[in-house]
Structure 1
């Protein structure tokens, strides 16, 4: 088959957008990336930097609705859903409720795990290419717990991970102290996933953008897509606040803003923005292995030169308002689990947030909708956005290059019914 280079426009310059650009340019396509920011802010820069085969249980798990209702009145809870009479929000909640069944969660385990494992391999291939210098370590992930009840729950998940082929261990406090001797953890034990890796997002993103520019990828910063012209179920023009562009193919990787654009082609994908927070501690913490503080739902990552504490899921629409109650909850959790960690007011004042695009069933949207022939979606990754960047980018390039995809993408279809 004769290869045809295509003119591809990617809407969104976060991890999904730049990874799509990376694999598309490797296939020989002409690529342009448009983003409303300056390519230095957002969820792709303030996340925990996890590559997470361990996270194979969907957010839409049985019991999550009742937890959400219980936490609704606690401003410092790990999950906060702000009730509002918004049609898109109400449809999303209903779809989430229908997805939160044991049957649907069971069916999503294999797709979630395999795309994570595939993405981890892609990250390692990028690292081995010697075109980049970025922090990447595969030290696993500790699911740290303070109560026997939570420990038992985490181990049940861990045993399922073993069934799926992951290496998982149930560690006592003494076991944890042998591999993390100076962190002063105040816990009962941990479930240790050897499968996971971690990175420093603030290093990888600029490196990838630098590389892509050197390969001829065009970047338009501080430019918002305001309209899309459709002709015969195909995008003919992409209109920004600065110019009008034409393309053979388009990729929508606009995160939480994606539904605003899919509506223009008649596709209503349910996505809600899930706000997460991060606090960076730029001093020695003696933390060397990434951990999730289970009861508090806080992620801890030893990044290159600092330690990042991240957490909470706040579903309250698109906004970047910093909720100090939630920032303080992360700091409090850090102190409860690591007895020597005491964050300063200056560190708390520099807390940042990012919006994660959450689908109702915990699976991303990757692929083409029947509503548009030349639009490929790459959005809805929720808390696994960073983890799934390269896998998504590779799949997007295979779809646009008319190649057989490396993974079965049916579970991620944008037209799936909830």
Structure 2
């Protein structure tokens, strides 16, 4: 048995704690928040085997430059003088090639499928009782161009063994009978499932506490003490914690944290927003509004509208222009829907840790023998939480990993 300290209490950190305690380790989770906010609570709740194309896709740079001048655009990069950002942007540009995207497709698919199975194992166990539905995901499009682009992705997914259909508007309306859609059609991925994040996270935290995991909130790590080629302890303002193994799962804060170890991991924060509509919308199947890049999820008791990717550093400022853009897009695709000002006023945001190539960083650092990194999942953090946690426990136990972790190498070159 080892004592493992996990820095970061989002979905990745708590899933790592879950699998480590299952293997009999003593686990402590330390987080700077109070475990009630952040990207793990405000995301769309998707488990997405369909998301086989990484964020660093060909053409995104051109779109990004165009969108940079539109504060309401789905993908917004805030220009700023920051060396880490420049390095990340160069690495992102190098990664946005057809070859690199093609090589990451099977990796992302396999990760998501394993994660879906792990969520289902949790859901059917006696330890949890959370909302989980496997209804698939519809990609709604308004233009033939968007429809063709998505169907090309759909055909790749079919080649990988996923069930995908290309539906006309009339075929979609036969499935979504109680809403009036303003679309041309949809690409329907049957592989996907969805959950209610702010229901699952407290359940997972409660399970961990019940099973002997120590959870320390509102504690910011100020120092990582190194002894030889290992971390010997971490220090917060008032306390020092020693352990055998350290997992850094600090999301968008990971890059700053690992600098204390003398290493550089390129991660930028990508801000996303969500609006909850806590009344009947009659929406029954999750959808992505393609041209607007807005995710729509029927959760347990409400409907969530989430979207935007805003690369603008670490900040939690709510930009009403972007919130309005999400609401306007939703009303534009769903004819009977109206999102009210008081609903927009309760919008929240979260910071997603984005790697330059759309693949997470999962693995050991060669220079620090007892440190494992688990970060950089971008928009797929929720979907990839369980598989990442399982991989972390396998790495620490020196077991054969559930899948090849070479693509997630912390020290890969960009």
- Name 1:81's counterpart in structure 2: 77
After superposition, give the CA deviation of every residue in 1:202-243 in whole Å (9 maximum; x if it has no partner). Answer: 100000000100000001010111110111121001011220
Residues 43 and 356 in structure 1, CA contact (< 8 A), matched pair in contact too: yes
CA distance in 2, matches of 1:172, 1:233: 59
What's the RMSD between the two structures over aligned residues?
0.6
Instruction: Say whether 1:255 aligns with 2:220.
Output: no
Aligned to 1:183: 179
Residue in structure 1 matched with residue 310 of structure 2 by the alignment: 314
- 2:395 is matched with which residue? 399
1:68 is aligned to 2:64: yes
Aligned match of 2:277: 281
| 1:367 alignment counterpart | 363
For structure 1, the residue ranges without an aligned partner over 5 or more in a row are none
CA distance in 2, matches of 1:183, 1:104: 39
With the length of structure 1 as denominator, give the TM-score of the two structures.
Answer: 0.98
Who is 2:332 aligned against? Answer: 336
The equivalent residue for 1:240 is 236
Tell me which stretches of 4 or more aligned residues in structure 1 moved more than 4 Å: none
Which segments of 5 or more consecutive residues in structure 2 lack a partner in the other structure?
none
Displacement of 1:371 after TM fit? 2.1
Matched, 1:9 2:5: yes
1:27-70 deviations in Å (ceiling 9; x for gaps):
00000000000111100000000000000101101111000000
* Separation (CA, whole Å) in 2 of partners of 1:309 and 1:254: 25
1:143 aligns to what SS in structure 2?
A: strand
Q: Which residue of 2 aligns with 1:46?
A: 42
Picking from 227, 234, 237, the partner of 1:231 is: 227
Matched, 1:266 2:275: no
Is 1:24 aligned with 2:2? no
TM-score (norm 2): 0.99
- What are the residue-to-residue correspondences of 1:105-116 with 2, within 5 Å? 105-116=101-112
| CA distance in 2 between partners of 1:374 and 1:216 (Å) | 22
Q: 1:340 Cα deviation (Å)?
A: 1.0
The alignment covers a number of residue pairs equal to: 414
Matched, 1:57 2:61: no
Q: How do residues 113-262 of structure 1 correspond to structure 2 at under 5 angstroms?
A: 113-262=109-258
Say whether the 8 Å CA contact 1:277–1:312 is kept in structure 2: yes
C-alpha distance in structure 1 between counterparts of 2:179 and 2:351, whole Å = 30
How far residue 341 of structure 1 moved from its aligned partner, in angstroms, is 1.0
Which of 405, 410, 413 in structure 2 is aligned with 1:414?
Answer: 410
Secondary structure of 2:215's partner?
A: strand
- Which residue of 2 is the match for residue 326 of structure 1? 322
